Amino acid sequence: MDKRITVRDFANLKAHGEKIVMITAYDACQARWGEEAGCQALLVGDSMGNTVLGYETTLPVTLEESLLHTAAVRRGARKAMVIGDMPFMSYQISIEEAIRNAGRYLQEAGADAVKLEGGMTMLPVLRRLVEVGIPVMGHIGLLPQSVLKDGGYRLHGKKSEEAEQLRKDALAVQEAGAFAVVLEGIP
């Protein structure tokens, strides 16, 4: 593929049963290396807080820090889809604020999409972002931004009720317009 990977390309790859290769990247070098290795997508995760910035959790990551790293990844990636991971409290306060902040990823950082955590509780935000033209990747299961509420990092979906809720969340996020869903920390 000689052009930049798009949401439509994701759908086509899935429709043809092809694997989609995505890694987490935080800078231009990692983006270049990822593309050279054949990655179609690069997620600029808020995990930069733990892995690059020295924070204990992802919670202290600011929108400005995330935008800076997303822009660096975009500069290093020619074709891969770049997805900016919206940090804690950048989309939870109001739909309007979520739209404004998500728009900054596309306008200022050159992202192709954003990712946000949450299932059914985040549907109004996710749906509205998609309606205004911002591609959204969902994220369910272990949600690092909820680590304090959840009492730490743990597997989700081991009990049948949790597994059923994950299934409902995944379908709801898809129906709300997410082009992909991250499933983290599930059996």
What pLDDT tens digit does each residue of the chain (187 aa) get?
479 999 999 999 999 999 999 999 999 999 999 999 999 999 999 999 999 999 999 999 999 999 999 999 999 999 999 999 999 999 999 999 999 999 999 999 999 999 999 999 999 999 999 999 999 999 999 998 988 888 888 888 999 999 999 999 999 999 999 999 999 999 9
User: Which residue, among 75, 84, 88, 131, has the nearest Cα to 105 in the 3D structure?
Assistant: 84
| Domains annotated on the chain, with CATH | 7-184 (3.20.20.60)
Task: Say whether 184 is catalytic.
Answer: yes
In the block, tokens 């499933």 appear at 183
Alpha-carbon distance of 172 to 40, in angstroms, equals 25
Alpha-carbon distance of 39 to 162, in angstroms, equals 31
Answer positive or negative: Cα dihedral of 36, 9, 13, 128. Answer: positive
Catalytic, out of 65, 97, 162, 184: 184
Q: How far is CA 141 from CA 11, 25, 146, in A?
A: 22, 21, 10
β-pairing, 81-85 vs 41-44, is parallel
pTM of the predicted protein model: 0.95
Cβ 123 vs Cβ 172: under 8 Å: yes
